[in-house]
A = this chain, B = another copy of it.
């Protein structure tokens, strides 16, 4: 598995664009990010380069404006990030955080249904460690 943790915060921004578009040319990435941030084109180019070096991005170099494609999926990346955040979090807080997250997220009705489904499944096996236990290795 790839080390998502080694992706820096600005690199993450670049990946976001490419994930959403599926693949993209540097121009596309630059156009989007110049609107959203005040980075110069050169900066974004650097970021793309680093992402390639770190093997998060791959360029199809057969035709000229290269087309960059992600080598990690957004799902995988989000998964790693969130889990890293939630790991070692006592379950009371997890519950709270998930609720908070849901309250702040737009989700579709069908997804809501699926999540409730998953929760009902969970209910069967729910059990909880105490606060301090979460600090142990």
Contact = CB atoms under 8 A, between A and B. Distances in A.
Interface of A: 5, 9, 16-17, 20-21, 32, 35-36, 74-75, 78-79, 81-83, 85-86, 88-112, 114-116, 118-120, 122-123, 126-129, 131-132, 134-137
Number of copies: 2
Contacts of A98: 98, 101-102, 105, 107, 111, 115
A107 B89 CA distance: 10
A78 B114 CA distance: 24
Contacts of A96: 75, 111
A9 B7 CA distance: 12
A99 B78 contact: no
A24 B130 CA distance: 18
